[in-house]
Amino acid sequence: MSGMRYSYGSIIHKHRCFVNKNMLESNKFILDFFFKEQSDFFPHKYGKISLIGVIKLMQWYHYVIISLVFLIGIYLYTAYNFYRRVFVSFNKHPKNLVDHTIDFYACAYDWFEKVPKEDVHIHSYDNVKLHGYFIPSLDKNANNLAIVIHGYQSKATDMIIIAKLYSDLGFKVLMIDLRGHGESEGKFTSMGYYEKYDLKKWINFATRNNGANIKILLHGVSMGAAMSLMVTELKVKANIKFLVLDSSFTVFSKSFAESIKPKILRMFIPGVSLFTSLFHKFTLSKISPLTAAKHNEIPFLIIHGDKDRPVPLEMGKAIYEASPIKKKNLLIVPGAPHARAFEINKELVIKTIIYNTSDIFGIKKSYIKNCD
């Protein structure tokens, strides 16, 4: 069978191939399609193929492939925007979660403005500059220190009322701004995954500046509670004597799902986890205080409201039940939404904290100073 030699020029990088003439005639549109018909680069007599022509050539599986690529693109684009909003741009417009002008918080804020305090700084494991406030105890011989840890989109000064409580109880107090929050630097949050290493740095800072025998209490709210529990997975100093865990989630992916409305949008959670893995080397399932609880040996008190929606009460119960330690307690505050148990029933929360910590830190309710 005779054949013909056909040169495709620059399109195929000056390679030559032999194509049966009759085959070329019968498959001219396919050749045009695959070699991206352009008269300047692919000389032939058939002219340019039209979009309609391409559509006519497509088989059913072409439509399936194109549809899948389109849907995957939409999915990844939406998941990426979720990721950006939650982990990167979360504090683009800082919020004031606590109104210090209302009566419930005003007294504590006035105390904070007047009390002697010091701005302190450390650098994280990845060289992020972190900020905190150190408030000394009125008792120079005090050997108790409370590290007060806020939650997501919050800041150290939102925890002033908690800081005042521990100061009244004779503690030295360290209020910290988490990375990307308040006056701390940082371009992203990891919902406690990397912040637990930051907290370990703060613990080392506290022992270095207050003596090796200092007794430390960690009081965290929401994400602050989660990282207070997760830090126990690290090789932290034995100085940590008690944990107060207010509204901690079990696994962030589950809490994230509870926060997303409408529910159909939960389908993007695996995509968000993909981007945290790509950009920050962790998945949402790895942010797991529940896992830490299973190995925790530090006494703790869980505070949880029964009206908590993003972190349902069942999560607090799960953490309580998972921990093998005997010295533990669970305070359920009726009517309290997420992270507002102290506001809903202040007296009950204070009474329970003192009851669970008095033997460790030697504190008494009589130390509490009420506002005039």
CB atoms within 10 A of CB 297: 9
Do residues 274 and 339 share a domain?
no
- In this structure, is residue 43 part of a structural domain? yes
Domain end point (choices 236, 269, 285) = 285
Exposed, middle or buried by CB within 10 Å (0-12, 13-18, 19+), for 307? middle
CA distance 357 to 260: 36
Provide the domain limits for residue 32.
4-57
CATH number of the domain where residue 293 is located: 3.40.50.1820
Is pLDDT of 36 > 60? no
What is the rounded average pLDDT of the residues 283-297? 97
CA distance 147 to 243: 10
Strands of the sheet with 129-135, listed across from one edge = 118-123, 129-135, 172-176, 144-149, 215-221, 240-246, 300-305, 328-333
Task: Give residue 366's pLDDT band: very low, low, confident or very high (50, 70, 90).
Answer: low
Task: Give residue 4's pLDDT band: very low, low, confident or very high (50, 70, 90).
Answer: very low
pLDDT digits (tens, 9 = 90+) for 298-350: 999 999 999 999 999 999 999 999 999 999 999 999 999 999 999 999 999 99
Do residues 179 and 146 share a domain?
yes
Is pLDDT of 140 > 90? no
Domains: count for the chain: 3
pLDDT at position 48, please? 57
pLDDT at position 189, please? 97
Q: Worst-scoring range by mean pLDDT, 172-176, 236-240, 311-315?
A: 236-240
pTM of the model: 0.84
Task: Give residue 236's pLDDT band: very low, low, confident or very high (50, 70, 90).
Answer: confident
Do residues 334 and 229 share a domain?
yes
CA distance 178 to 191: 10
Do residues 279 and 233 share a domain?
no
- Buried-exposed string 63-83: b where 16+ CB fall within 10 A, e elsewhere: eeeeeeeeeeeeeeeebbebb
Tokens 């500059």: give the residue: 129
Do residues 327 and 210 share a domain?
yes
Domain end point (choices 236, 268, 285) = 285
CA distance between the termini of the chain: 109
Do residues 325 and 362 share a domain?
yes
What average pLDDT does the chain have?
88
Do residues 236 and 279 share a domain?
no
pLDDT at position 51, please? 66
Do residues 18 and 123 share a domain?
no
Contact (Cβ atoms closer than 8 angstroms) between residue 230 and residue 289: yes
Which tokens hold the place of 217? 């209490």
What is the rounded average pLDDT of the residues 132-159? 96
Closest CA to 206 of 242, 165, 175: 175
Higher pLDDT: 200 or 95? It is: 200
Distances (CA, A) of 19 to 26, 39, 44, 256: 12, 19, 14, 59
Do residues 349 and 361 share a domain?
yes
Do residues 281 and 212 share a domain?
no
- In this structure, is residue 38 part of a structural domain? yes
- Buried-exposed string 254-270: b where 16+ CB fall within 10 A, e elsewhere: bbbebebeeeeeeebbe
∠174-175-181 over CA atoms, to 5°? 145
- In this structure, is residue 66 part of a structural domain? no
pLDDT at position 44, please? 46
The length of the chain is 372
- In this structure, is residue 63 part of a structural domain? no
Question: Quick one: what percent of the chain has pLDDT higher than 70?
Answer: 84
Beta partners for residue 144, in sequence order:
215
CA distance 106 to 367: 20
- In this structure, is residue 372 part of a structural domain? no
Is pLDDT of 34 > 50? no
Do residues 131 and 266 share a domain?
no
Is pLDDT of 147 > 50? yes
pLDDT digits (tens, 9 = 90+) for 47-72: 555 767 666 677 878 888 999 999 99
pLDDT digits (tens, 9 = 90+) for 222-234: 999 999 999 999 9
Do residues 124 and 170 share a domain?
yes
pLDDT digits (tens, 9 = 90+) for 101-130: 999 999 999 999 999 999 999 999 999 999
Domain end point (choices 265, 285, 305) = 285
